[in-house]
């Protein structure tokens, strides 16, 4: 488990000192995080890292998990899909199951926090307990909220409105609400297996295992096999580049094992590759973090040619490795890439191919973009910035002013 001091060599002593100063101001507060699972999923992963680091800073942060049966989680899965804009039928029985489980949890959970920090839609209705408590309540929405199904949003909104504040990840996710809304971007952990420094030997070992030869430039897209990640467009762009530059394409991703659509997309991508020996389509098993890290580090250019994207943290992962990135200007990607400064933004297959060729022909420019990209991620998208924003968020609950002297 990483300690806050482990990050000092990466972000500098000043950043760690600022975190310590902020943490001191919260020493009398208990922060109670509540979500729906202790293992698996992005939120559990974030809490698993954040809570111990907050404790290491001296903040009394704790973590409780809501309990629910199989039916309840089937319902919340439906909510999740509908909030992502997928057409999903939600019955009155579903709402009843959701409310009944919430009621049981309100009775079972001990709400001891000065600040109750609720993560994602599953435990959102616990806020019904609020009227009996003096605590401050925050709802943290981690999911893509670009176009939620109006019916489910109407239902959830009645609970969200009872909070003191809510937090979204990107400007386009924010909704008209009568409560305060904060914008806090997600982050990557530079010390995790997916992002830590690797030796050349480690990189070579992984590439040997994956049977990828490093004899020519490697262009890579890491993403699950999903139409919205446009793997077909990536292959088309690669073929346009290949006319002029000899190179290799790697399309690698996981998450298709229990996803029937993912399996189908994977098969279609393999067919589209037409046995071209320079196109490698890799289905990675879960927990392939080391493999992803090595693949990114071995790449000459990294792509994220998504048609739609939540935040798109794979871009931050690639930039952290100082790689030149060509990505679509969708979702949270323009927050991570300033066009021509820290990467390149494209809108079409032809544009993607054009920028890849530019990068392959101008290695100095590619290096500069990668270095700028890394600096940008260091400043704005590392876990330490995420911790800082959370500490500021907790402190802001007691303040109405826009300039606050601590």
- Smallest distance, Å, CB 47 to other proteins? 20
- Smallest distance, Å, CB 164 to other proteins? 13
Q: CA–CA separation, 388 vs 258, rounded Å?
A: 36
Q: CA–CA separation, 37 vs 206, rounded Å?
A: 32
User: Nearest CA to 255 among 273, 274, 229, 233?
Assistant: 229
Compare residues 155 and 381 and give the one whose CB is closer to other proteins. 381
Compare residues 257 and 338 and give the one whose CB is closer to other proteins. 338
User: Nearest CA to 242 among 214, 292, 207, 277?
Assistant: 277
- Smallest distance, Å, CB 152 to other proteins? 20
Compare residues 239 and 374 and give the one whose CB is closer to other proteins. 374
Compare residues 201 and 402 and give the one whose CB is closer to other proteins. 402
- Smallest distance, Å, CB 24 to other proteins? 10
Q: CA–CA separation, 194 vs 197, rounded Å?
A: 9
Q: If you ran DSSP here, which 8-state letter would residue 347 be given?
A: -
What six digits make up the tokens of 108?
A: 């079972």
Is residue 312 within 8 Å of 331, Cβ to Cβ? yes
C-alpha gyration radius of the chain: 22
Compare residues 209 and 399 and give the one whose CB is closer to other proteins. 399
User: Nearest CA to 167 among 185, 152, 151, 149?
Assistant: 185
Compare residues 53 and 167 and give the one whose CB is closer to other proteins. 167
Q: CA–CA separation, 33 vs 266, rounded Å?
A: 37
- Smallest distance, Å, CB 119 to other proteins? 18
Residue ranges binding other proteins (CB under 8 A): 12, 14-15, 17-18, 21-22, 146, 168, 171-172, 174, 176-177, 180-184, 338, 341-342, 372, 375-376, 379-380, 388-389, 392-393, 395-396, 399, 402-406
- Smallest distance, Å, CB 85 to other proteins? 12
H/E element holding 316? helix 313-320
């Amino acid at each position: 488990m990483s300690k806050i001091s482990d990050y000092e060599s990466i972000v500098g002593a000043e950043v760690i000192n600022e975190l310590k100063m902020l943490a001191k101001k919260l020493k009398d507060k208990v922060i109670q995080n509540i979500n729906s699972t202790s293992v698996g999923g992005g939120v559990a992963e974030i809490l698993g890292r954040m809570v111990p680091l907050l404790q290491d800073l001296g903040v009394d942060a704790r973590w409780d998990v809501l309990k629910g049966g199989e039916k309840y989680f089937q319902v919340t899965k439906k909510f999740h899909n509908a909030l992502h804009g997928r057409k999903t039928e939600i019955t009155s029985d579903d709402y009843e199951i959701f409310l009944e489980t919430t009621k049981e949890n309100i009775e079972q959970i001990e709400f001891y926090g000065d600040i109750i920090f609720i993560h994602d839609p599953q435990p959102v209705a616990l806020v019904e307990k609020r009227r009996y408590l003096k605590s401050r309540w925050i709802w943290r929405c981690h999911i893509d909220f670009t176009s939620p199904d109006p019916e489910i949003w109407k239902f959830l909104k009645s609970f969200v409105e009872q909070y003191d504040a809510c937090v979204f990840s990107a400007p386009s996710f924010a909704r008209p609400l009568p409560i305060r809304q904060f914008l806090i971007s997600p982050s990557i952990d530079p010390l995790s297996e997916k992002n830590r420094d690797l030796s050349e030997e480690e990189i070579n070992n992984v590439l040997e295992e994956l049977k990828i030869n490093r004899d020519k430039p490697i262009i890579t897209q890491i993403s699950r096999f999903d139409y919205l990640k446009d793997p077909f467009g990536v292959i088309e762009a690669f073929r346009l580049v290949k006319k002029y530059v000899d190179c290799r394409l790697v399309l690698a991703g996981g998450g298709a094992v229990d996803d029937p659509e993912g399996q189908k997309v994977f098969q279609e991508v393999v067919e589209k590759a037409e046995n071209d020996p320079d196109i490698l389509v890799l289905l990675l098993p879960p927990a392939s973090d080391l493999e992803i890290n090595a693949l990114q580090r071995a790449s000459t250019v990294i792509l994220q040619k998504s048609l739609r994207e939540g935040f798109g943290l794979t871009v931050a992962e690639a930039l952290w490795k100082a790689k030149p990135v060509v990505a679509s200007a969708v979702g949270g990607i323009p927050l991570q890439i300033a066009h021509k400064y820290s990467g390149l933004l494209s809108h079409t297959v032809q544009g993607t191919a054009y920028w890849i060729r530019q990068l392959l022909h101008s290695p100095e420019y590619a290096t500069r973009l990668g270095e700028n990209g890394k600096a940008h991620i260091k400043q704005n998208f590392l876990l330490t910035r995420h911790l800082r924003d959370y500490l500021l968020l907790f402190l802001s609950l007691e303040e109405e002013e826009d300039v606050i002297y601590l």
